[in-house]
Amino acid sequence: MNNLQTSLKALFLLVLLAFWPLQSLAQEAPRIPNFWDPQERFIKPNVKDMPRLRFLTTTDFPPFSFIDKDKRLAGFHVDLARAICEELEVSPVCQIQALPFDQLQPALMGGKGDAVMGGMAVSEANRNDLIFSRPYFRLPARFVGKAKAGLSEPLITALASKSVGVVDGTAHAAFAKAKFGNMHLQLFETQEAALSALKEDKLSAVFADGLGLSFWLQTEQKRAFQAKKKPCCQFIGGPYLSETYFGGALRIALGEGNEELEQAINFALRSINDKGRFTELYLRYFPISLY
C-alpha cells in the first residue's frame, strides 16, 4: 500500500486543486459500493465515557489523506474518522494525527493512538498484534477505453483478440495474464505510455488500478472541456477485486484487546453507510466512481 501512496500523491493533488469543479462532467451516474450485509445488525456499545479517541493516519495517501492547499490535513479518511466520532458521540474528544506510514503500527502499539486508518493491510506479520474492523473500502482494478468504441460487458467477449495495454511487472499485468487469456496483452513500461497508446487508437483498452485511472479520466475531462470536445475515454465494464493480486480491503487497525472499540467502530461504519454519509464522502473524493 505504501508504494501506491507515493505514486499517486502528486497526480491526485494536481487533480484536486485544478480539476475539482469538474465533478459534474462524470460520464455516467456514479456507482456507490456497498460492503455490508443488509441482514446483519450491530449493537451500539457505549463508549461516550472514553477520555479520548485518537485516530492515526498518513499525509501521503490521496485522496484518503493528504495536506491540502491550506496546509491542513484532509481527505476521505479524515472525514470518515470524524463521522465515526459523531456516530459514537465522542466528537469533543476525537483527535486525528498524521504520521509517516512506517510509524503507524509502532505508534499504535506504543499507546500513542487508538486506531489506525491509513491503508494498513492485514498480514501474517501484524495479525497477532492487531485487530481489524470490518472492511470499509476496496481498491478495484478497471478497464478504460475510448468513449466512441461503445464497449460493454461482457468484456471478456467484447475485448477478445483485441489489444489491451497493461504495465509490465505489476499485479494488474499478472491478473490480466491469468484471467484474460483471450485478449492480446501489450506490455508497457509506464501507465502513461499505455494511456497515450490508447488515445492514439493503438489499443482498445488499458487495464490498471482504478484509483489512478480515475485521476487520469478527470484530467482528460478537463482538457476536453477546455477544448469544447467530448472526453476521449471512459471506464468500461465493472470493477475487478482480488485479494490475491490487488491486496485486501481497507480496514481500521486497533491494538490487541481493544474489542469493545472495534465493535463500536463497526457499528459506526455501518450506521454511516445506512444513513447515506458514506455515499456523501465517496462522491466528494471520488467524483468519477471507481466502481
Q: What is the DSSP string of 153-190?
A: S-HHHHTTTSEEEEETTSHHHHHHHHH-TTSEEEEESS
Q: How far is CA 201 from the centre of its chain?
A: 29
Query: pLDDT per residue over 110-119, tens digit each?
Result: 999 999 999 8
Sign of the dihedral defined by the CA atoms of residues 175, 178, 182, 187, in that order: positive
pLDDT of residue 98 exceeding 70? yes
Contact between 78 and 284 under an 8 Å Cβ cutoff? The reply is: no
Q: Which of the pair, 157 or 3, is modelled with greater confidence?
A: 157
Query: pLDDT per residue over 172-212, tens digit each?
Result: 999 999 999 899 999 999 999 999 999 999 999 999 999 99
3 state DSSP class of 67:
strand
Sign of the dihedral defined by the CA atoms of residues 105, 107, 109, 111, in that order: negative
Angle (deg, nearest 10), helices 210-226 and 191-199: 40
> Among candidates 265, 237, 229, 248, which has minimal Cα distance to 159?
237
What pLDDT does residue 18 have? 40
